[in-house]
Amino acid sequence: MNVPKLTSTSAKSMDCLGISKLQALFRGKTTRKGEYKRAKEGATVLCPFLASPPSVLDAVLKLTDKKLNSDSLFYDLGCGDGQILIGVAKMTNARCVGIDISEILCATARRRAREAGVEDRVNVRVGDLAELSLDDEEPTALFAFLVPSCLMVLSKSIFRRLKTGTFLILYKFPLPTEDGWTPITEMIVDDAVKAGAQASVFLYIV
């Protein structure tokens, strides 16, 4: 079987972070300034992989309030193993695009989309979010479960450039209110980091 190898850059970046640092990142115990510096200094892996719990998919579907259909374009920025993409494609028939730095996670997401019978609706690309432009796309909704430093980078390069009315759905980490981002609403769901704890899914409408 031809399984793509994790690129040396991403593998190294993951290793360098270490488990305790990853946990600190997800628990918000590192300063935003420190994370932003790390992101700007060119750490290719801007956020470690951790899958959203199933309650996050339910929240995404509820928050988009049946506005996703076969004419919609849904993005998961840092799609991991594709479970949100696959769930959205199955439940709404939307076209779903996932982008992730990890070739292995992208291969897993594609395989899972095939197994779920939604490969015609799900397109998974290996790519670096730091270099992504959606200027030529018109997404209906974007989802991301990324640490604050990464969201800050995307806020300037992508989120601010989305067309009016685009749904932006963030799990666990919101965008900074001091930058003018206020969620329309939020839903309480399970926390991906700590069993039994709760976290939020935030909805913004651009």
Ligand X SMILES: C[S@@+](CC[C@H](N)C(=O)[O-])C[C@H]1O[C@@H](n2cnc3c(N)ncnc32)[C@H](O)[C@@H]1O
Tell which residue, 177, 189, 115, 117, has the closest CA to residue 148: 177
Least distance CB 71 / ligand X (angstroms) = 23
Min CB(70)–ligand X separation in Å: 22
CA–CA separation, 50 vs 181, rounded Å?
A: 25
Based on the shown chain and the rule CB under 6 A, indicate whether residue 25 belongs to the binding site for ligand X: no
Q: Determine, following the binding rule CB under 6 A, whether residue 99 of this chain makes contact with ligand X.
A: yes
* # residues near ligand X by CB under 6 A: 24
Token couple for 177? 């209110």
Q: Which is nearer to ligand X, 46 or 63 (CB)?
A: 46
CB nearer ligand X, residue 59 or residue 99: 99
**Window 45-64: residues binding ligand X (CB under 6 A):** 45-47, 49-52
Instruction: Mark residues 125-154: x for contact with ligand X by CB under 6 A, - for none.
Output: ---xxx--------------xx--------
CB 101 within 8 A of CB 170: no
What tokens were used for 183? Answer: 């969620």
- C-beta closer to ligand X: residue 106 or 162: 106
CB of 65 to ligand X, least distance (A): 20
SS3 for 54-101, per residue?
HHHHHHHHHHCCCCCCCCCEEEEECCCCCHHHHHHHHHHCCEEEEEEC
CA-based nearest residue to 53, from 169, 196, 185, 203: 196
CB of 135 to ligand X, least distance (A): 17
d(CA 10, CA 31): 22
Binding site residues, ligand X, CB under 6 A: 44-47, 49-52, 76, 78-80, 83-84, 99-102, 105, 128-130, 145-146
